[in-house]
């Protein structure tokens, strides 16, 4: 059931913004790795912060799930909005770090496992952008049937990205050059 009061023109603009963000964010992040690094700003403090943000996002996602299972939509909405905000803060920290620092190479004996986690984390972090944004849009529209369908994919992917973000940090942190 769609109970939205969003005018069709505005809805089309929001959908277009989601498509643009879903393409632009991964492209900008990919371009960062080939750009010369900005000198004069020490950003070595950022990786543990954005790993912490990932961990907090995972906790909030579990909290949002528990809230909606208890039919507490107000608390659920708050946790999801906080998760979205943390994702934006994560992105700002991540972009800042990679604008100012060279990529770190993993040097441990579990390289295969690390690469598997990293690659699946990266691929799913790209996929999660439109999935989460459209899932949120469906709730915003009041289309809870579609919101629930999409949440079956959005929640586990977002959770995987959040948790593996922490794991990737923990695995690579010994190799950061300060």
Segment 1-58, tens digit of pLDDT: 445 567 889 999 999 999 999 999 999 999 998 999 999 999 999 999 999 999 999 9
For residue 3, the model assigns a pLDDT of 52
What is the C-alpha separation between 108 and 119, in angstroms, rounded?
Answer: 16
For residue 160, the model assigns a pLDDT of 98
Helix, coil or strand: residue 35:
coil
Segment 111-160, tens digit of pLDDT: 999 999 999 999 999 999 999 999 999 999 999 999 999 999 999 999 99
Sign of the alpha-carbon torsion through 112, 116, 121, 127: positive
For residue 1, the model assigns a pLDDT of 47
* Neighbouring residues of 119: CB distance < 8 A, sequence distance ≥ 6: none
What is the C-alpha separation between 95 and 89, in angstroms, rounded?
Answer: 10
Which tokens in the block code for residue 114?
A: 């690390």
* Neighbouring residues of 111: CB distance < 8 A, sequence distance ≥ 6: none
Helix, coil or strand: residue 176:
coil
What is the C-alpha separation between 17 and 165, in angstroms, rounded?
Answer: 26
Segment 104-121, tens digit of pLDDT: 999 999 999 999 999 999
Q: What does pTM read for this prediction?
A: 0.93
- Number of Cβ within a 10 Å radius of residue 63: 17
The enclosing H or E element of 54 equals helix 46-69
Q: What are the extents of the domains in the chain?
A: 44-175
- Number of Cβ within a 10 Å radius of residue 115: 11
Contact criterion met (CB below 8 Å) for 17 and 134: no
Contact criterion met (CB below 8 Å) for 143 and 1: yes
């Amino acid at each position: 059931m769609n109970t939205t009061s969003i005018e069709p023109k505005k809805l089309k603009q929001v959908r277009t913004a989601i498509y643009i963000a879903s393409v632009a964010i991964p492209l900008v992040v990919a371009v960062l790795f080939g750009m010369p690094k900005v000198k004069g700003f020490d950003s070595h403090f950022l990786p543990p912060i954005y790993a912490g943000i990932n961990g907090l996002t995972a906790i909030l996602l579990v909290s949002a799930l528990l809230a909606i299972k208890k039919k507490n939509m107000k608390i659920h909405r708050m946790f999801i909005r906080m998760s979205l905000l943390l994702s934006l803060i994560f992105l700002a920290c991540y972009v800042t770090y990679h604008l100012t620092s060279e990529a770190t190479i993993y040097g441990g004996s579990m390289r295969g496992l690390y690469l598997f986690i990293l690659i699946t984390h990266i691929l799913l972090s790209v996929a999660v952008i439109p999935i989460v944004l459209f899932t949120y849009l469906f709730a915003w529209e009041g289309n809870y049937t579609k919101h629930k369908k999409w949440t079956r994919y959005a929640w586990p992917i977002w959770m995987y990205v959040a948790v593996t973000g922490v794991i990737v940090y923990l695995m690579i942190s010994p190799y950061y050059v300060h």
